[in-house]
């Protein structure tokens, strides 16, 4: 079983550093911005609730932050999605919006999708591109990047998605089996209703989670994250590719906030198969709804924030590994 390898190139070995005067630039304003950026990334929903439409913070995916369970300062937890090296890979091309994006646009995209911001946030808009808070978050991520060569993607930046021989076709993902695995592996932290524990573990679905246009709403992306990072502080426990794909199908079979601009995504290409919340994907596979949600409903399992109960999970799970497009 291979994961992101710490031996994948000594030149770019992961080396966490403290946020201290000795590691900060001499310019006092830049120092202030970096410290402010760190605080915003660690406790985003708490610090700037007007721009956040859920209960998440950047640290929910990137590690660190204000939670008592957090490891290190935000963006440097190698078992999560470290932000070290992010600045080195930008600007970059994205098919989702068919454009190049720089670091600030990347941050704003996370506000819009992962943080359910923009029209879904109290302010009704995203932070301004040149606002001090966006500059502060940019300054912190650039500071984390110090020592990583430009346009070099270090081994820890990208998740290892399922290889072709392990990738389960979307119609064959079994979210009902994923429900059983969820109760065994995930519910102790995220709860039987997926709502987590305040200031400890984030909600995985429902109104306070990421919206349906977020990267984590894609099956293979979420599976890669689960396999690489979960359970928190005990990473690499879930090693089986089939297990994490079924788990991702279960999580992304649930209701969550809707991103109104989804029809505008992928304007020159089609959404990837894993993007199960997109109508174009559902129609391509012959469904009239999210195929993961359909299977959960056929099994009589909730897709809202109701608590999942073990006795509600069918004894026979194999059926739900088939497409079931026309089943009632």
| Same domain assignment for residues 191 and 305 | yes
β-bridge partners, 30:
none
Residue 156 resides in a domain: no
Cβ neighbors of 11 (< 8 A, separation 6 or more) are none
| Same domain assignment for residues 287 and 206 | yes
Residue 31 resides in a domain: yes
Going by C-alpha positions, the residue among 58, 92, 105 that lies closest to residue 77 is 58
Peptide bond between residue 231 and the one before it cis (omega within 30 degrees of 0) = yes
Residue 165 resides in a domain: no
| Same domain assignment for residues 191 and 117 | no
Residue 13 resides in a domain: no
Range of the domain at 183: 170-321
| Same domain assignment for residues 213 and 289 | yes
**Each residue's pLDDT tens digit in the chain (328 positions)?**
566 655 444 444 566 788 888 899 999 999 999 999 999 999 999 999 999 999 999 999 998 876 666 667 899 887 788 898 888 888 999 999 999 999 999 999 999 999 999 999 999 999 999 999 999 999 999 999 887 776 666 666 778 899 999 999 999 999 999 999 999 999 999 999 999 998 889 999 999 999 999 999 999 999 999 999 999 888 888 999 999 999 999 999 999 999 999 999 999 999 999 999 999 999 999 999 999 999 999 999 999 999 999 999 999 999 999 999 988 8
In this structure, what CATH number is given to the domain that contains residue 126?
1.10.760.10
Residue 204 resides in a domain: yes
Query: Strand locations in 190-324, DSSP E?
Result: none
| Number of domains observed in the structure of the chain | 2
Could you give the CA distance from residue 267 to residue 234 in angstroms, rounded to a whole number?
Answer: 39
| Same domain assignment for residues 124 and 181 | no
Residue 289 resides in a domain: yes
| Same domain assignment for residues 140 and 48 | yes
| Same domain assignment for residues 73 and 174 | no
In this prediction, residue 8 carries a pLDDT of 43
Residue 155 resides in a domain: no
Token reading at 169? 């076709």
| Same domain assignment for residues 125 and 178 | no
Cα torsion for 225, 314, 193, 265, to the nearest 10°? Answer: 50
| Same domain assignment for residues 266 and 218 | yes
């Amino acid at each position: 079983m291979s994961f992101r390898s710490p031996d994948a190139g000594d030149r770019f070995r992961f080396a966490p550093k403290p946020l201290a005067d000795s590691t900060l630039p001499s310019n006092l304003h830049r120092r202030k911005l970096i410290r402010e950026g760190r605080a915003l990334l660690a406790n985003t929903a708490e610090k700037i609730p007007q721009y956040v439409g859920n209960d998440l913070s950047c640290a929910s995916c990137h590690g660190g932050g204000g939670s008592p369970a957090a490891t290190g300062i935000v963006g440097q937890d190698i078992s999560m999605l470290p932000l070290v090296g992010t600045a080195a890979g930008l600007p970059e091309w994205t098919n989702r919006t068919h454009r190049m994006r720089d670091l600030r646009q990347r941050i704003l995209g996370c506000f819009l999708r992962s943080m359910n911001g923009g029209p879904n946030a109290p302010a009704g808009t995203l932070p301004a591109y040149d606002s001090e808070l966006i500059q502060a978050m940019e300054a912190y991520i650039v500071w984390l990047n110090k020592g990583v060569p430009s346009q070099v993607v270090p081994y820890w930046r990208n998740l290892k998605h399922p290889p072709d021989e392990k990738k389960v076709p979307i119609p064959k993902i079994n979210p009902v089996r994923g429900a059983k695995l969820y109760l065994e592996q995930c519910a102790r932290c995220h709860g039987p209703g997926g709502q987590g524990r305040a200031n400890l573990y984030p909600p995985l679905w429902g109104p306070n989670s990421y919206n349906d246009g977020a990267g984590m709403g894609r099956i293979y992306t979420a599976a890669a994250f689960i396999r690489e990072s979960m359970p928190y502080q005990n990473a690499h426990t879930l090693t089986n590719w089939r297990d994490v794909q079924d788990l991702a199908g279960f999580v992304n079979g649930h209701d969550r906030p809707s991103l109104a601009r989804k029809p505008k995504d992928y304007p020159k290409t089609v959404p990837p198969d894993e993007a199960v919340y997109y109508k174009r994907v559902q129609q391509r596979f012959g469904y009239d709804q999210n195929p993961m949600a359909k299977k959960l409903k056929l099994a009589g399992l909730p897709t809202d924030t109701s608590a999942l109960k073990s006795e509600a999970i069918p004894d026979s799970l194999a059926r739900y590994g088939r497409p079931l497009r026309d089943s009632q």
